[in-house]
Structure 1
Amino acid sequence: MYIIGFALLFYASFIVLVQGQCYNNSTCECHCEVCSSGCQSCLPGWSGSPSNLCQKENTLYHFYGMNSKDSKLLDGDKNTSEENDESEPYMLVQLKNYTTIKQLYVHLELENGNTYQAYVKSRKTQREDSVRCDTYTYNGIKAEETITFKCQQPLVGNYLEIVRSLEKPVKVFEIEHYECSNGTFGEQCENICSNACSDQCDKDTGDCVCITGFWGKLCDKPCPSLCKDSNCNSKSGDCIDCYPGTYGQHCQNNCSQGCIDRCNPSTGVCTCKQGYFLANCSRACSENCSDSGCSKENGICLTCLTGNYGPLCDLKCLGECGGECNKITGKCGTCTKTKYGSFCNKTCPVTCEADVCERSTGECKVCKQGFWGDRCTKNCSINCEGGTCDKNDGECRQCKRGFWGSQCSENCSINCEICADAYKCLNCSDGWYGITCEKPCPKHCGNSRSCHKVTGNCQLCSLGYFGNTCTQNCSQYCDQTGMCNQEDGKCKNCKAGRRGEYCTEMCSVQCKNSTCFKNESCVNGCEDGWFGSKCADKCNLEITNCAKCKGIDDEVICQRCFDSVYLKGTKCYKCPQNCVSCKSNEKCFQCEDNLFHGVTCNLTCDSACINKTCDITGNCIHGCEKKKYGSNCNQDCPSECKTCRISSFCLTCEDGFDVGLCSSNRKGMTNSSACIECCNPLILILCRC
């Protein structure tokens, strides 16, 4: 026993499992009684080939249930048996657990004329066909034999039942179910599954599903080396797919160079690049195929390069074609310019317009200017307008001015530019009218004095005239730039200050610049103090004291008030007393007669101001009197001065004092030094010395 354990440890330590209990050196876990020196006999519950270490397991060995009385049937000993004490012809065995059974080996006592059946079931009372294995009928003398009951399909259950047909107890010695250990197969489990199996192989045949890279029933053959990802059919060994550019059973062939990307891995058939044909795109189209396009089946060109024809476009077109020719016959579809004929080998007349003529006849389709006839060999008349005439008969399409006739060889009458014949003029020269243009147009016709050919009415009047014959004068008040309408004489525009259809009425004096439209509305708006489209409404009648206003959406808005009144919002309010103009009742711009000053003109000017006038700040405008000086005339001059500029300089002196400092009394003075002092140039006042 110790030897067996040691051997098992040895295998477990140095050998790696491949499938279940078998290893990659083709050995399996030992189920022999002695494993050290060859397998002489198998452990209980195991059998099979000793050379493969007893891999055939009896899965029912000691697999009875805890309460089962039939342990002798699963003890591996065919010398012990169980027999039903009652007369019922069956033997029921309860298993330890549910198990899967494919076939049973039952060692039992057989009697003549009996049919034996085996059941694998999950309930004691079950006996349906679906849980029954094969039926065995025995005819012979009484004997002990092992009978194989094969199930139609694997059955799962925890009860086994052996039933005989005759009403007598059945005697059973052993019930066995064999299964190879994982990784082995064969009748005696003598073979080891291939390492290339992706899962457990079939324990009877060894068949398995191969891992990538192997094929065959036993997965023992490697896939061809050229298979994509080493992947091949596990039965045939044919590659499942090839790398781009190869094909064949073993991907041994290269795809044609005409294939787009890759070809069918089995057949080599592919989608062709432009310019190749056949199923595998191995042939190149003719170089004369247009855009290298040809039929994939036979290589016939779909269209030819210009100038070629034939199935392979290897023939040159017949003649000078103006493009392609018939792909089959080679005849030109159209000729090049200047050529005609079936094969485009004849030259069109040089007088054909654009050098193009009828292909069959060579006749010009259109003649160049100045020629006519089938081949445009005849000259048009020199009097044809533009030198053009009818291609068929040479008649001028239109004559030059002054000529008539089919060839324009006859002269029109004098003053006639275009005529139908010698007696009827179609278009007169400027200034003439009548059947033969013998009458002069009215003298005031404008536009080079032109008039209607039949009536003589002017087409346009000279500036300042109107009427059919332009004999009436426009109104003198019409604007000179446009004057008046030719039919009724109404002015197009009026001179400044005038209005009405004939501009005979005056514009309102309240219109700015005295200009208005014919409907009396003012062109430039209203003079100050007026509003409305005709400037007929006074601002101060709508808004008291308003000097300037405008109307917006039927509402009058004051823009400026009269003097002594100020604008606040849309109304005018009176300025403070003595205020001539102001911004508000708290701010004056100018005081009345310059007699007042202060922010609201509430202060009178100083009485010492000359004329008692001052500006709004209180500064005297004309200077001081009453022996005062300063900007407000509120400071006293020296007693010697009548008037002064500053406290130390007098403008006029009291009697007996000189102008200037007024400090020297002239009475009895003989010294002239005072005059010199008085005549100081900085004082700018001359002294009387």
Structure 2
Amino acid sequence: MDNRLVLLLAAVVTNFGHLLASQNLNCARGYWGEDCKSRCSKGCTYIGCDKVTGSCFGCNSGYHGKHCDISCPAHCVCNRFNGNCTSCYNGWYGDLCNMPCHNNCSSCSKTTGVCSTCNYGWYGTHCSIPCSMGCNRNYCTKSTGYCSRCKVGWYGSNCEKQCPTNCHDGCHKTSGGCTYCNSGFWGSKCSIVCTTNCESCQKSDGTCLFCPNGFWGSNCSQTCSTNNCKKCDKNTGSCKTCNSGFWGPNCKYVCNKCRNEKCDRFTGVCETCPVGFAGEHCNITCDISNCSRWSCTKIQGFSCSDCKYGFWGTRCEKQCDTNHRCRYCSKNTGGCISCLSGYWGISCEKNCTKSCSSCNKYTGYCWNCKTGLWGNFCENNCTVNCICDRTTGICSSCVHGDWGKVCENKCNENCYSGCDKGTGKCSSCKAGFWGKFCKNKCLAGDRCQDCDNSNGICSKCVLGFWGSSCEKNCATNCAEGCNKKTGTCTSCAPGLSGLNCDIKCEDENCETCHRYPDSHSCIICKAGYWGQSCDIQCKSERCIECHMNEGRCTLCDDGFWGTPCHLRCNAGCKCCSVTSGTCSRQHYCLGTNDMRNTTVVLEQTNNTLNTVSFTLLGCSVAVLLVAIGIPCMIKRRSKQKAGAATSENQNVVQQSVSYTVDREGKARIEIPSFQAGVDNYTYETPETNKGFEEEDYADLLEADMVYENR
């Protein structure tokens, strides 16, 4: 036996025994060593490695060595034991697979670099010659460039030639002969033109096969017999198809009112009729103005099965009567079947009694009487407060609030919706009362809004109270009362949260926030603010409210619109839509312009009053000087006439008053003193000048007031 074979068998037996021995170690796959903590090399295959030595049972592609921890050269599949490249990746060759194949090679010889296969579209030793552009899918043989199939329109061994121009759907690959010709041509290569007016001819001999519309004959040289014939028989010339809107053997008849002018060529029967027409030839007009139920079809024609009130006849073309009192009459005879309300008789010629709302057509007896009347003609009066039977006069029910056999009793005043006619028991009680006759007050007293009708126990408290007997007050900050059983607020006042609305919202500018303990974050910001914490002001002063998350304006001042309220509404438009600028009705406006105008008027009024006040002050000074001078003169003359007089003179003078209005609209009156050292007198009135007209206070400003000085 060959020594090499013996050595090989010995190595296999040794490795196999070593493998069996190593498997006695209970390591997980991918680990080895006495404590199984060592990881097999990443180059080992999924089988793993020897549990004792850590050597791999097999290497992954790209690695070699005992532990598969040595990388093969790039683009190389190498031998595990010696690292030599056994093959190269596609596109590379050489001992180390480090030389690229020719550009158009998909693979080449590892030793010589000669191309073994080419990319599509190339052939030759080094795949450097392009295939013919006529090759199907751009593929040809590597050695000769031969194409097995050509693209449509090409032929030849290498598909290098183009088919004749008028070939239809390609030509024969070897000869280039046309299989079919385009319309209007014939011959082996479709190079001969068909005769004039021939739409299509035989490829082999040029015999005409189809004529264009309006022509016939072996060479399509003859015209069809009539201008309305669209297509006629090639051999006989008889018309086969008419132009739209015509019919008959020679297409000389016109389709009558057919929809889209389409009818049967032989009978003239329309395919469909336009709306409002019926019959095979669509020559029947469907007048449905007096029909309540009708049929209008091409096959069945036009018919009315029911007429509208007031009409009769086959097509409801006749009126029931001339006095217009008949509601409905026989469709066939025209005889009146039903009268309009308020009439009776064979021809509805008689009037029902005035007390009838309607009466029998044949007897005149009333069907229904007005409230409080009975009898065949509603001629009798029911008992007071009684709604009685029309035929017997017996009281069947009472007017609301009464009861008894003849409705002689009054329901209790605390009954809410009347009472039983026989017993007087209330149907339901007004708020705060209970019992069969609603005579009892609810047990909880005035704080109870509704209570059980059978026991008086309160079921609903008056707003602001809670408890079994409504004895407890809801929390002060509850906006819409509280739960009767728990006292929990239904909703909170702005800026507050919590079950009892006793917790302030976290954000200062928050109007409504989450009520419950897990979160008091804001839901709605106060007007003019936005953001999660309501700490950002809206973008424009004209923006009254803006979107909490986006900041875009949702409510603008009157007269403006747009996301930042920067656009003016159209002239004459007091307020408009914030998104479209469309003018809104005046009752949707906020009235902010009116408030602003009022402020301007007040300021103008204040300015006017101030001007008037200064003018009057000057006049007052002049009058004061005159007033002081006159008494002196009088006093001097009195001394001359009466001698030494010791009595004290009393001087009466007219004094002007300064009248102004401050910024808050309060009236202010200032009276200057006559005597030195005496303070001026000032009077303030709580009245504002809101709504004042100038004439309301002009007299006050100009009037002189009389004071007495001693």
Same fold (TM over 0.5): no
Q: TM-score, normalised by structure 1?
A: 0.36
Q: TM-score, normalised by structure 2?
A: 0.35
Kindly name which structure, 1 or 2, has the bigger radius of gyration based on alpha carbons.
1
Q: Which fold has the larger relative contact order, with Cα–Cα distance below 8 Å and residues 6 or more apart in sequence?
A: 1
